Amino acid sequence: MNHYQKLTERFQQLHHYSHLLSIAGWDQAAMMPPKSNEARANAMAELGGLCHRLATADEVSDWLAAAEQEALDSDQQASLREIKRQIENAHALPEDLVLAKSKAGAKCEHAWRTQRKENDWAGFAENLKEVVKLSREEAQLRSEKTGLSPYDALMDLYEPGMRSAEVDRLFGDLRTWLPDLIQNVQEQQKSRDLPKPQGPFSIEQQKQLGQYAMELLGFDFDAGRLDVSSHPFCGGVPEDVRLTTRYNTDSFAESMMGVIHETGHARYEQNLPRNWLGQPVGEARSMGIHESQSLFFEMQVGRSRSFLKHLSPKISETFGAQDAFSPENLYQLYTQVEPGFIRVDADEVTYPAHVMLRYEIEKALVEGEIEVDDIPDLWQQKMQSYLGIDTAGNFKDGCMQDIHWTDGSFGYFPSYTLGAMYAAQWFHCIQQQISDVETQIEAGDLSQISQWLNDNIWQKASFLTTPELVQAASGEALNPQYFREHLENRYLHQVR
């Protein structure tokens, strides 16, 4: 056995432990009784510490140095590149910090579930301060290892190779046209008088509709399941993908579109190359690419006129016939632009504003330019500036609405808007290559779309860097113009 093979065996072992961590995390969010949290947090921290020791053991560094001198084919070289990246990331942190972060994150997230409902910013802030303190320590250590700024060093965990200077450029361009687009679309839509779906909509019926949409989109229920959590997510591992949603009996759209979004994540995971499972190169390329899959399914496909024509009869069958369920009315409803408090419920025109707000706050927080106590006022200022919304005193619908900061996932938020840009670019390519794609979507036939995604995104996993993947899939680098054209065509020009 050569040294490269020893490395792959170690990472296969780590994959098995990560499998258990992922399922324990899903259970913690979806099923676990409240009084079990401390014991679960300690168990997950212990297992996380074991994984850290296995990844940073002296023999692993020796194997890596030796493997770099071995004759490897191109796939193995890509695999070694990703193994090295993960080893270096692990070496940047001492085990005690890994354990402390895990426990602080579990405590903060668990308390958030109750504190958010109670609008308890003061209680939440105390836990968040510990998470931020540890995240800053992590950022500084990673910065020293990589030479990146503290925030970039964290963002690199989610978007390898992406830097805040590039995000600033992309978001700076967005700011030059997005506010006017939001205003123009709202002006154009203000004369609409659309019939609204009349509830209540039972949770069981919503679940049936969500499962139908998942089946239509190709989710493999023999390798995953749908449950409920406070914050929708896609977790688990490729062999066992766990989706969650949340239900509102006054509106089925939140759950339905949330399920479609998470199914995009799930399809990516379920179709990663099986012969590389357990190896870093067989994992998703980046969170931006991951978000491109969820937003492709939810926005490019799920809110399209063609898809809603197909889904309309099923909605009527599930909840009973209503004028609001006509295909065109559903399309008008689900392309309604209205600034709101909640990011996960936002329309795709205002969504980037939510992301930019969080990016600006979390970057300043990690870099030590602001403190946790500054967040509510900054949130209020930026929501007023970007969306004209007052969040003063409304913490549960403001700075406490998301789960990402509770476990120190700083550097993640840019992935959402990067994902929207990638998704628009993928759909542009598909439209060029599949002439009747809209007809296929209306017929409920997503086989050719899935094949394109499988060939160009899913099966590529992490064999290519993100820029290489984008170039290979679309023939050019990331081009945000496709995102702008998509929004203008759908919301201003109403292209059919």
Residue 158, domain member (yes or no): no
Domain match, 184 and 88 both: no
Domain match, 272 and 314 both: yes
Residue 41, domain member (yes or no): yes
The average pLDDT across 244-264 equals 95
Answer yes or no: 262 catalytic. yes
Which contacts qualify for 373-376: CB closer than 8 Å, 24 or more apart?
373/125, 375/125, 375/399, 376/121
3-state secondary structure 372-435: HHHHHHHHHHHHHHHHCCCCCCCCCCCCCCCCHHHHCCCCCCHHHHHHHHHHHHHHHHHHHHCC
Domain match, 178 and 60 both: no
Domain match, 381 and 247 both: yes
Q: How crowded is residue 171: how many other Cβ atoms within 10 Å of its Cβ? A: 20
Backbone angles phi, psi at 277, to 5 degrees: -60, 135
Nearest-angstrom CA–CA distance, 160 and 156: 4
Domain match, 185 and 120 both: no
Residue 192, domain member (yes or no): yes
The average pLDDT across 444-462 equals 98
Backbone angles phi, psi at 235, to 5 degrees: -135, -160
pLDDT at position 496 is 42
- Domain of residue 402: give its range: 166-491
Nearest-angstrom CA–CA distance, 53 and 282: 22
Which token pair is 210? Answer: 């969500």
Domain match, 256 and 299 both: yes
Residue 418, domain member (yes or no): yes
Residue 423, domain member (yes or no): yes
What's the predicted TM-score (pTM) here? 0.94
Give the gyration radius of the chain's Cα atoms: 22
CA-based nearest residue to 267, from 412, 425, 451: 451
> What percent of the chain clears pLDDT 90, i.e. is strictly above it?
96
The average pLDDT across 241-262 equals 95
pLDDT at position 494 is 67
Residue 289, domain member (yes or no): yes
**DSSP 8-class letter at 237:** E
| Beta pairing class for 234-237 and 240-245 | antiparallel
CA-based nearest residue to 295, from 333, 324, 268: 268
pLDDT, tens digit (0-9, with 9 covering 90-100), for 285-320: 999 999 999 999 999 999 999 999 999 999 999 999
pLDDT, tens digit (0-9, with 9 covering 90-100), for 267-284: 999 999 999 999 999 999
**Dihedral of the CA atoms 284, 289, 294, 298 (nearest 10)?**
-160
Q: Residue 495: is its pLDDT beyond 80?
A: no
Q: Point out the catalytic residue in the list 82, 109, 254, 262.
A: 262
Instruction: State how far Cα 235 lies from the chain centre.
Output: 11
pLDDT, tens digit (0-9, with 9 covering 90-100), for 25-34: 999 989 999 8
Domain match, 408 and 474 both: yes
Domain match, 127 and 210 both: no
Domain match, 74 and 171 both: no
Residue 161, domain member (yes or no): no
Please report, for the domain that includes residue 421, its CATH number.
1.10.1370.30
CA-based nearest residue to 295, from 356, 351, 372, 338: 351
Q: Which residue's structure tokens are 């190709």? A: 218
Q: Which of 148, 178, 204 is the last residue of a domain?
A: 148
Average predicted confidence (pLDDT) for the chain = 96
The average pLDDT across 117-130 equals 97
Residue 265, domain member (yes or no): yes
Burial readout 83-113 (b: 16 or more C-beta within 10 A, e: otherwise): bebebbbbebbeeeebbbbbbbbbbbbbbbb
Q: Which amino acid is present at 379? A: W
Domain match, 179 and 289 both: yes
Domain count, the chain: 2
Which token pair is 156? Answer: 């690199």
pLDDT at position 493 is 81
Q: CA of 255: how far to CAs of 218, 227, 259, 301, in Å?
A: 18, 11, 6, 16
Domain match, 131 and 181 both: no
Domain match, 138 and 201 both: no
Nearest-angstrom CA–CA distance, 203 and 414: 32
pLDDT at position 231 is 80
Q: How crowded is residue 21: how many other Cβ atoms within 10 Å of its Cβ? A: 17
